[in-house]
Amino acid sequence: MEAIKVIRKLIKADWGKYLASLIFFCIFYNTGLLSYPVSTMSVPIITIDDTGVTKFDALPGQSFDQMYIVRGSDFTTGQIITVTVADTSGSFTISDNGSDFYTTLAFTPDELVEGFFEKQLMIRFAPSDEEPHTAMINHSADGAETKTLTVYGNPDPMPIEWQSFKAKPSQESIVLSWSSVSEISTSYFEIEVTENPETGFGKIGRVDVNDENPEIAKGYTFNHYPEVITDTYYYRLKHVNTDGALTYSKVISVEPPVELKVEVEVAPNPIVTSSQLKITSPESGIINIIILNREGLEIFYESYSIMAGVNNIDLPLDKLVAAGVYTLITKIQGEMGWQKLIKQY
């Protein structure tokens, strides 16, 4: 009551009218008699997790894919998110299943948890020319601020210059040699071989790069020990960059060493405790016997004197412990031959 009397006295004074109004407002607001409605409506928000997804490397005619994640909060069931790729060249496309790619993609969240969703999308860069490309990937939804992911495509991703690539048969293997320069961002080389390029190539080895002074020319070698003699072998190198992008060298071919005039037979084969090498030679001489395991590592090497005619040599069974396929290499008078040794158990 005393407070009311004070307020009435203030009202009688002109200067006190404003102060009295303020006091009344504070009283009514604090007692809950005066209140204003507060909006509880929320707006949907789109966020993009684009860690490491902004740069794409692929040669013309090839493609390179990368994944990224789109997240949303305060979305409602059935609300549509539209993803549009702004790229006049058509080099960049988008997919939500990894197989069908488009320049415009619309989807509704598969599952909403209290308005939150997470969606994995894939970007593909497939250039048709050698020009660099930039694309803006826009993510929009009703009521949400559009989020843009900018990506860059490099159609010449391999800062490497091939200087040479050769294959030459030796007495023990086919020796591949190559040299390159400007190995910037190079990780390693894979060596591939085939007997018919139309049926594809298979990996036979890997050589890591010497990353010291990438601008200086370097030479590399790799020995291939074929398990089967064929007319011609075809080789190529796969150059792999540190970010996973790759390219290939030219394809080269080589004919393996001629077959021995000396006849070498393993009997029985698959080998047993009584298996022997039967060597038929038109003249006496020295024959070298080499055995490689399935990884191509030498596990046996020995030289034997043979006479003209038939010679029998016991196999080193103590070296052939594990079951599998071994390679037998025989060398005499500069000629070399290969054949398989099969150990079943």
In the chain the first and final C-alpha atoms are separated, in Å, by: 108
**235 within a domain of the structure (yes/no):** yes
Classify each residue of 61-78 as buried b or exposed e, where b means 16 or more C-beta atoms within 10 Å of its C-beta. Answer: ebebebebebbbbebeee
**40 within a domain of the structure (yes/no):** no
- Answer whether residue 282 shows pLDDT above 70: yes
Task: From 235, 254, 273, give the residue that closes a domain.
Answer: 254
- Answer whether residue 38 shows pLDDT above 50: no
**170 within a domain of the structure (yes/no):** yes
Q: Do 277 and 322 reside in the same domain of the chain?
A: yes
Please spell the DSSP secondary structure of 58-93, one letter per residue: --TT--EEEEEEEEEES--TT--EEEEEE-TT--EE
**207 within a domain of the structure (yes/no):** yes
Distance, in Å, from the CA atom of 317 to the CA atom of 304, rounded to the nearest integer, reads 17
- Residue 81 makes CB contacts below 8 A (sequence gap 6+) with 46, 70, 72, 106, 107, 108, 109, 119, 139, 140, 141
With cut-offs at 50, 70 and 90, classify the pLDDT of residue 39.
very low
Q: Do 125 and 63 reside in the same domain of the chain?
A: yes
**114 within a domain of the structure (yes/no):** yes
- Cα angle value 263/269/273 (rounded, 5°): 110
Could you give the number of structural domains in the chain?
Answer: 4
Q: How far is CA 87 from the centre of its chain?
A: 25
With cut-offs at 50, 70 and 90, classify the pLDDT of residue 51.
low
Q: Do 170 and 189 reside in the same domain of the chain?
A: yes
CA distances 66 to 7, 55, 58, Å, are 72, 9, 12
**Alpha helix ranges (H) inside the chain:** 2-12, 14-30
Task: Tell me what pLDDT residue 9 has.
Answer: 56
- Structural domain for 219, as ranges: 161-254
**39 within a domain of the structure (yes/no):** no
- Residue 260 makes CB contacts below 8 A (sequence gap 6+) with 330, 332, 335, 336, 337
- Answer whether residue 66 shows pLDDT above 70: yes
**73 within a domain of the structure (yes/no):** yes
- Provide, rounded to the nearest whole percent, the portion of the chain with pLDDT above 90: 23
Task: From 135, 154, 173, give the residue that closes a domain.
Answer: 154
Domain holding 87: CATH number? 2.60.40.10
Q: Do 57 and 136 reside in the same domain of the chain?
A: yes
Radius of gyration for the chain, computed over Cα atoms and rounded to the nearest angstrom? 38
Task: From 124, 154, 184, give the residue that closes a domain.
Answer: 154
- Answer whether residue 146 shows pLDDT above 70: yes
- Cβ atoms 116, 76 nearer than 8 A: no
Distance, in Å, from the CA atom of 344 to the CA atom of 14, rounded to the nearest integer, reads 114
Domain holding 315: CATH number? 2.60.40.2550
Distance, in Å, from the CA atom of 117 to the CA atom of 194, rounded to the nearest integer, reads 48
- Answer whether residue 21 shows pLDDT above 60: no
Q: Do 93 and 174 reside in the same domain of the chain?
A: no
311 or 158: which leads in pLDDT: 311
- Cβ atoms 172, 289 nearer than 8 A: no
Q: Do 148 and 167 reside in the same domain of the chain?
A: no
Determine which of 24-38, 112-126, 145-159, 184-198 has the lowest per-residue pLDDT on average.
24-38
- Cβ atoms 265, 277 nearer than 8 A: yes
This prediction's pTM? 0.40
